[in-house]
Amino acid sequence: MKVIRKAKQMQREMKNLKCQGKKIGFIPTMGALHEGHLSLIRKARLETEIVVVSIFVNPTQFGKGEDYKEYPREFKSDKKKCEMAGVDYIFYPEVEEMYPKPYYTYVEVEKLQEPLCGKFRPGHFRGVATIVIKLFNIVMPDIAYFGFKDYQQYVIIKQMVKDLNIPVKIKGVPIVREKDGLAMSSRNKYLTPEERKEATLLYKSLLKARELIKKGERNPSRIKNEIKKILLSGKIINSEKIDYISIVDPVTLEELKKVDRECIIALAVRIGKARLIDNIRVKC
């Protein structure tokens, strides 16, 4: 396994591999790798010949007052996990390598970046789209893998690739959960034991929503009220800590006025120092 820190060196390596006809799979990450990331790596290992993981805590996707400085950085541990999972290359650049001064160019995916997390994290998806397209230009993958936990991100990247004719296939991979249902996230490390226990209410509320839909409930407001009732049943979460509960179209991310087709039920809740997101796909 090679660790490369310079963009031009990474490009040279990837161009050489592509000239040899190698199929490249790519997993962009911010490090602090967990089983969710490893599931992406395993899928890439099965489907491609060369597996590349990038580890870069991207400053442009963090807003003022967010946890950029506190975000876990665990490169030694991440490197070991990548080696054990069969990764061929880690791209591990410095901030100055990705954003040399002066830096003026950013990418936005209009409309899709506005709802859900976009309402509460202005500029976040601008930063995500920008760093991902830069990484695509450096790594030149055939397939890139994204987890469905960050569903809005997945939809945005897929649309960006389509709109800009980028020759990479985007594959979504199911959410990996802890035994108690909590979606795996690098930010789960922020939770105290009491907060960690209460965080399980997110998935419990989503399961209840799915149950209601399967039983015939079609009114989004009633479904959201049931989700909120479960979220508020603990001791820590209150209404002010719930950023959103949304039932949206899987492609457009538009709120459904009636649950009469397949949908994504998504939510974001702040618990202690962590802002947790989760979602579930439901077919009527």
Q: Are 165 and 133 in contact (CB under 8 A)?
A: no
The catalytically annotated residue of 7, 13, 37, 51 is 37
Q: Are 259 and 220 in contact (CB under 8 A)?
A: yes
Q: Are 237 and 252 in contact (CB under 8 A)?
A: no
Residue 124 annotated to the active site: no
| Amino acid making up residue 118 | G
Q: Report the half-sphere exposure of 193 (CA within 13 A, side-chain side).
A: 0
**Three-state secondary structure of 19-43:** HCCCCEEEEEECCCCCHHHHHHHHH
- Distance from C-alpha of 275 to C-alpha of 243, rounded to nearest angstrom: 9
Q: Are 153 and 180 in contact (CB under 8 A)?
A: no
Handedness of CA 48, 51, 130, 65 (dihedral sign): positive
- Distance from C-alpha of 143 to C-alpha of 150, rounded to nearest angstrom: 18
Q: Are 224 and 247 in contact (CB under 8 A)?
A: yes
Q: From the CB of residue 181, how many other CB atoms can be counted at a distance below 10 Å? A: 15
Catalytic residues: 37
